[in-house]
Structure 1
Amino acid sequence: MEDTLLEKYFRGECSPEEVKKVLAWFKGTELGVHQEQELYRLWQETEAGEAHKEFSANATDILARINANIDKQADENLAEDSACQTTKNLRLPQSNWKWWLKAAAAIFLPVCFLWFFSNYFTGENTSAIRLVTIQSGPGIRKNISLEDGSVITLNANSQVTYPQHFTSHKREITLTGEAFFEVAKDAQRPFIVKTGGLFTQALGTSFNINYRPGKQNVAIALATGSVKIEKSQPGNKNQLAILQPGQQLQYSQIDLTYKVSGFDAQAILSWREGILYFKQANLEEVIQKLESWYGIHIQVSGKIPGKKQEWHYTGSYQNESLDDVLTGIAFVKNFTYEKKEDKVMIKFR
């Protein structure tokens, strides 16, 4: 039996197939001294670990009960040795290793199974729960009401995935795209939004997240309450910041750095009210926002502004048509446009 598999088993991380493999080993294996010492070491490491406190809290008591049985057996062996006036080292005989293993299994396995099945059927193993996925297409925004009373406003070209029924200890959402969250208070179940490698946790608050794979930045802006933002690391999570209302964390997916600063609420949150807002937006930003907002594809030709040219646009449009928006921008920025189905050709003069 590989040590790594036993370590996974003691930590409760085995798949159902791996659990069967370990149980078969427990049932049919006699241990040597070295193997017993390794098993004991792994057990102690499990007791000291922090990953699954619900199991670790019982590990000391379990091991004490096993040791008590071992000591009792050893005392009986010592009494037999004394009666025969034979000098021997006090050591559990090899023939009793199988007994020790069965005693350990008899006490340890019920606890392990209790932990395994409680996690398997209460949400720790996502294969045992039903997930709901909601998408919004180009130019489409959706309001989603969750069973806990929380509300998600999903921006265009975005997707959320969450359990049909939240577990008893957390409410976890996975987001791709942009969404605004109004979180119902529940002190016993933190509300966690996963965006790539970032985790945003709240109890009762409202915040906006903009995360699009392939784009440079992830932006998390807090409107009310407080949120904790963590970055996943191998084996753990690293806290990046705790935001206060009016603060925004921007995380670079390129160089893996972040900064916390204030934000313009109109620029970040106005999309929820159907307001298309530009603030000193360059040409690329204007095109990306128009494509996402209206579900179109834009091609640019003519005297396209170069990177060295100062090309920025500021303006807002509330529930206006694509023609009205393009006409307004074209008047200021000196271009013409032509529409063909879902394509728009912009030509700079």
Structure 2
Amino acid sequence: MNQYDFQKTLKKYLAGQHTQEEEDFILDHFKNNPMQEMPVFEDEKAVIGKRIKKKLVANTIGEPLLIRLRPYLAAAASILVVLGFWYFLVKKNAPETIAEMDFSPNDSVIEIKNTSGKSQNIPMEDGSIVILQKNSSISYPEHFGKKNRLVYLHGEAFFQIKRNPAKPFIVSTGTLVTKVLGTSFTIKSYDESASVEVQVKTGRVSVYEGAANNVVNRNGVILTPNQKIVFDKKSKKIELSIIENPMLVIPVSETEHGFTFSEVPVKHVFSALEKSYGIDIVLENDSTDSCLFTGDLNGLSLFQQLDLICQSANITYERRGTALFVQGAGCGD
């Protein structure tokens, strides 16, 4: 049973629309998967607590056994926050969580596993497109809820999201949550991998640690085009950097010189690249002030362009986080 199916079953259980088989499944799950106490609403605790207690009383005799089982009742009540991603926003004045699974129990759950040797295009009902890579899977409701568009990813996929400020698109990998309004980005999150990677192509992306039900966004960053993060699952550390092959964020024609330069100050060439790729290029000293550059940078990647410029001006560059830092002796007198 995938995460959506489980939560649908839990929602039916809370609404009293469950079958005997579904009730047995929920109770067995709570018993075999105890979790730490987390804040939940008292009425929700009461619903689960009363039903489980009723079940226990029906099958046991005597107070001692009930006393021994009370920790189990507490664990069952507290599990809502961990697994009921959708549930806590449906109550008035509930603390806002980043993701709410607000679908109907009658909605179908779509789970797609790409077992082929090539990528698979998946159209969403909102007009978004997901390109699912091989050995990856994605699950989502047939109809998105009223407040967000939540999907679960295992593996790798490229997302091209249709903009909707009123309903953010949220991707949960279990350890990392990515939230956008409308943009394009790639997520790599394989179960066997020690890390999760998010790369942004267009727009702005919010990425933070945790499951989709976190009340507070912890250990998070905002990514812009040509930036990526690598999240270490064990250490919980986020490393922010530039992607391996940055793409243009504005057309070359909108820069002053395009990518063809003739006796142009090197610092102006760097400014053109900075604008074209949306990446900060920091000149750590004035060694390039007297340097001029002549050349055609069209058809080259950003780092090939930088190599050519630096070679001509006797300088070097290095990547630090999401910026490029330029230093060196320069052209001299």
Q: Which bin holds the TM-score, normalised by the shorter protein?
A: 0.3 to 0.5
TM-score (norm: length of structure 2): 0.45
Q: Which one has the largest radius of gyration?
A: 1
TM superposition score normalised by structure 1: 0.43
